[in-house]
Structure 1
């Protein structure tokens, strides 16, 4: 009787898992299928899942589009710089919060969390006016700075949890062996907190890579416009019939780096997300 119950539970679990995967992956599969459809097939409004005559013309058109390739370069550059700076500053700030005792430490963490949850749309107007005055509008720094404003608090929260888990005695032992405070931090603490640093870097990169509101509001040309913002300008010759196939193709190309990163580093990502939740 117990065996039948456990068997039914396992079957139900697998059915539920299959339904969840189908629900999550079907839109992705539809976009991939749409990217291989011809312009005529999409214009006709065909609801067929698989393309009648698969073609790579959409991928050739997107890759040969100078505006898209420029936006792709902007996305990589802005996301990488924002990630690097955020992780460096967050590592130093999180270490100070975890190791040092000072007044207002909880207030700092609370403010950081409040900033991370602040609506991006509310900052578009003031930032537009400020960046126009300071000459940062339509520049890489004009996007990197606000990206860091939203990614730093999350990175600080993530890394402070990791630093609190590392035994204080390990740092003291390194100092007893002759290491300075900076050497102990760089050679002992940071390597031990590598999963947390990696998790913070991944979260920061994903935010900068996918962000749309600031990218569309603080840029005006392709010189600094990122891919999510540039895709909104794919309107085609007919405003009433957008190039859905090319939009789907661009979405596939933009999503590929994220998929590759997750597949290559999924163990470190999972380890980083779970380890930081052991202690509060």
Structure 2
């Protein structure tokens, strides 16, 4: 009995430590976003106007009314959604072929896809910078969508191929026996069954595109295509040597909200897709 109590107490303490470790940066940046710049400079602990150290919601109003940030929001939404849509469509077709067809070099294709997904992003910035300026893709949406897909597509293929392998082949054959074509069986039977894996691939792709900083800062030079993470680095105040930390924190919170909402709404599908193929039977 005492052992069970100690085990529960130990588990609770472990969970509390992990939550504190993970949530402390989030709480800190949220509290910072409510401070005034003067409070940040002076080291005031106050968060709200009533205690003399905060700016309240004014930082969020200033960020959302900032023209540079508005352009960045539009750019991030458009680029991320297009990259996600194209990656999921191509990855679904490619993963289905890898899972269903037998051909030489299948393992090599999957291994290469995984290696590409893990390739260092920084090592590609220099070559892409020169190529995009030559092909007139520098500082454009397409100039960011292509690099995003080059990393998210292999990861999506790897994830979806594992999920497709778990779908019984007999279900597709039964649909074809009933008169469905191969495309109809794929679209009406296989894809709905693979929905958790497709959701996972889409979410991972969207996360990468939305959170990217390296490509966003290196392959853009104006507000025309600069995404939110890169735009935040150009936030400057009246004093260029004293960055507006509270405004940056408010912008970071606004940029994080879509990711949090997606995870909360689709957490079950994400977990189901990530664990696909881990257990057979």
Do both share a fold (TM > 0.5)? yes
TM-score, structure 1 as length reference: 0.96
Match of 1:8 in 2: 6
User: What is the rounded CA distance, in whole Å, between the counterparts of 2:203 and 2:232 in structure 1?
Assistant: 23
Match of 1:223 in 2: 224
Q: 1:49 to 1:8 in 2, by over 3 A?
A: farther
Matched residue SS, 2:8: helix
TM-score, structure 2 as length reference: 0.96
Match of 1:172 in 2: 173
Shift, 1:235, TM fit: 2.4
Matched residue SS, 1:265: helix
Match of 1:273 in 2: 274
Consecutive unaligned residues in structure 2, runs of 5 or more: none
Shift, 1:265, TM fit: 1.2
Aligned-residue Cα RMSD (Å) equals 1.1
Instruction: Give the conservation status (yes or no) of the 8 Å contact 2:139–2:226.
Output: yes
Q: Does 1:82 align with 2:80?
A: no
**Aligned counterparts, 1:199-218, within 5 A:** 199-218=200-219
Q: Does 1:24 align with 2:22?
A: yes
Instruction: Give the conservation status (yes or no) of the 8 Å contact 1:171–1:188.
Output: yes
Instruction: Give the conservation status (yes or no) of the 8 Å contact 2:88–2:198.
Output: yes
User: What is the rounded CA distance, in whole Å, between the counterparts of 2:225 and 2:252 in structure 1?
Assistant: 19
Instruction: Give the conservation status (yes or no) of the 8 Å contact 1:30–1:49.
Output: no
Instruction: Give the conservation status (yes or no) of the 8 Å contact 1:196–1:276.
Output: no
Shift, 1:82, TM fit: 0.3
User: What is the rounded CA distance, in whole Å, between the counterparts of 2:130 and 2:277 in structure 1?
Assistant: 39
Q: Does 1:102 align with 2:103?
A: yes
User: What is the rounded CA distance, in whole Å, between the counterparts of 2:215 and 2:68 in structure 1?
Assistant: 19
Shift, 1:49, TM fit: 6.7
Match of 2:132 in 1: 131
Consecutive unaligned residues in structure 1, runs of 5 or more: none
Match of 1:258 in 2: 259
Instruction: Give the conservation status (yes or no) of the 8 Å contact 1:158–1:276.
Output: no
Shift, 1:240, TM fit: 2.2
Q: What count of residue pairs does the alignment treat as equivalent?
A: 276
Instruction: Give the conservation status (yes or no) of the 8 Å contact 2:39–2:46.
Output: no
Matched residue SS, 1:275: coil
Instruction: Give the conservation status (yes or no) of the 8 Å contact 2:140–2:225.
Output: yes
Shift, 1:257, TM fit: 0.5
Match of 2:193 in 1: 192
User: What is the rounded CA distance, in whole Å, between the counterparts of 2:71 and 2:33 in structure 1?
Assistant: 21
User: What is the rounded CA distance, in whole Å, between the counterparts of 2:134 and 2:18 in structure 1?
Assistant: 49
